[in-house]
Amino acid sequence: MMETLYIIGTIIVGFGVVFKLLIDLGHKIEDGLIELDEKLAMAIKSVVEKIPGMGESEPINPIQMAIGQLIANMSQQQQQNPTMKVIQRDEKGLFVKED
């Protein structure tokens, strides 16, 4: 009877140790992923800065900005007010050709 209790106790302690090791491993993996993300962000930033025209962006020309807003407003007006075209039908319900 005593040996069974020792075996059960050893198994419970073993599961506790494995559980603790898995938790620690999870924390290590999470920390490693955060560090990898930071290093990857720095690498991408340094590559983008070396590309001519990408790293340093000059401010947008106000005239270009105004033209862009004008085009956007025109497209929104066309989407909000589509022009409907009525197509005539004959007595049979078929569409009539336009002249």
Give the type of residue at 34.
I
Q: What's the mean per-residue pLDDT of the chain?
A: 87
Any domain includes 50: yes
Any domain includes 19: yes
pTM listed for this prediction? 0.44
CA distances from 20 to 12, 29, 30, 72 (A): 12, 14, 15, 58
The predicted structure's pLDDT at residue 15: 96
- DSSP tally for the chain: helices H, then strands E: 2, 0
Domains in the chain, number = 1
The predicted structure's pLDDT at residue 87: 85
Tens of pLDDT, residues 2-23: 899 999 999 999 999 999 999 9
Any domain includes 30: yes
54 Ramachandran zone, left/alpha/beta (phi>0; psi -120 to 50): alpha
72 vs 64: CA distance, rounded Å: 12
Dihedral sign for Cα 33, 35, 38, 42, please.
Answer: negative
Any domain includes 33: yes
Any domain includes 16: yes
Residue-by-residue DSSP string for 82-97: PPP----B-TTSPBPP
Tens of pLDDT, residues 62-72: 999 999 999 98
Any domain includes 66: no
**55 has pLDDT over 60:** no
**24 has pLDDT over 60:** yes
The predicted structure's pLDDT at residue 82: 67
22 vs 15: CA distance, rounded Å: 10
Any domain includes 74: no
Domain containing residue 1: 1-56
Any domain includes 70: no
